[in-house]
Amino acid sequence: MFNIADLPEQIPLFPLPGAVLLPRARLPLNIFEPRYLAMLEDCVKTQHRLIGMIQPMVEPEGRESDEVRLHSIGCAGRVIGFVETEDGRYQITLGGVSRFRIKAADTGFKPYLTADVDWAGFDRDRGPGEKDVKFDRVVFLGKLDRYFRATGLQSDWDSLEKAEDELLVNSLSMLFPFGVEDKQALLEAPTLQDRRETLVTLMEFAMASGSEGGQVQ
């Protein structure tokens, strides 16, 4: 757990549409672009080893811009493991630490984005695991089973059943193939209960409208 005083005022940013990290969850990533290899090299030299995961904003249809606009809220993860592959890529794992709000983003003289960030307002991210006192696990797993059947997604059901409430909700929020704005809504949910309710709404919408199948790890 990090205290707010331990967190840096500036962190590197990794903009990746559809990829969100949540506190106390883990996110595996493949790093291969030269600018992000440089980011990783700089990151592991720091004491905090934090990378800020952030989603680019979806541009309105018909609008084209060379400037990438970012959502204002992301989540920082600490590099807790990395392996170099034979072809020069890195497979890393981020452990979610805390959400943040961007104050100012800047490329500076580096090949990757950095940002001055504000950690205020996300105190529960840096504490013990959240509880959802209204969580009905039986009802939720029933909806989850129907969602898998309707969308053709597959997963390790035994692991889902054994996962703690926060890990279950946050992992599914990160893994399910929702759109960028839906993922952002899950990220910005103030509490675990809000996130679970948003997740259920998105699953119900997907079941009603149909969705492409795939594999959830």
Q: Is 115 a domain residue? A: yes
Tally the domains of the chain.
2
Structure tokens at 154: 């597959």
Q: What is the pTM of this model?
A: 0.89
Mean pLDDT value across residues 12-41: 95
| CA 42 vs CA 7, 91, 112, 124: distances in Å | 17, 16, 11, 28
Compare 164 and 88 and report the one with higher pLDDT. 164
- Average of pLDDT values for 137-150? 93
Amino acid in position 8: P
More confident residue, 157 or 102: 102
The answer to whether residue 41 scores a pLDDT higher than 90 is: yes
What pLDDT does 77 receive?
97
In a domain, 131, yes or no: no
Last residue of a domain, one of 126, 151, 171: 126
pLDDT of residue 64: 56
Give dist(CA 109, CA 112) in Å, integer. 9
Q: What is the mean pLDDT of the chain?
A: 90
Residues 17 and 116 occupy one common structural domain: yes
Residues 114 and 166 in one domain: no
Enumerate the β-bridge partners of residue 94: 27, 79
115, 183: one domain: no
Instruction: Please indicate, yes or no, whether residues 152 and 112 belong to a single structural domain of this protein.
Output: no
Identify whether 51 is part of a domain: yes
Confidence class for position 59, pLDDT limits 50, 70, 90: low
pLDDT exceeds cutoff 80 at 38? yes
Same-domain check for residues 101 and 23 = yes
- The per-residue pLDDT for range 166-198, each reduced to its tens digit, is 999 999 999 999 999 999 999 999 999 999 999
Domain match, 98 and 158 both: no
Q: Is residue 216 part of a domain?
A: no
Q: 142 and 122, same structural domain?
A: no
Q: Measure the CA–CA gap between 129 and 169, rounded to whole angstroms.
A: 12
Domain final residue pick, 75, 103, 126: 126
- Residue 23 pLDDT greater than 80, yes or no: yes
**Exposed/middle/buried for residue 118 (C-beta within 10 Å: 0-12, 13-18, 19+):** middle
Q: What angle do CA 215, 23, 195 make, to 5 degrees?
A: 70
pLDDT at 88 over 90: no
* Cα dihedral across residues 169, 175, 177, 182: positive or negative: positive
**Quick one: 153 and 49 in the same domain?**
no
Confidence of residue 65 (pLDDT cuts 50, 70, 90): low
Domain of residue 175 covers: 137-209
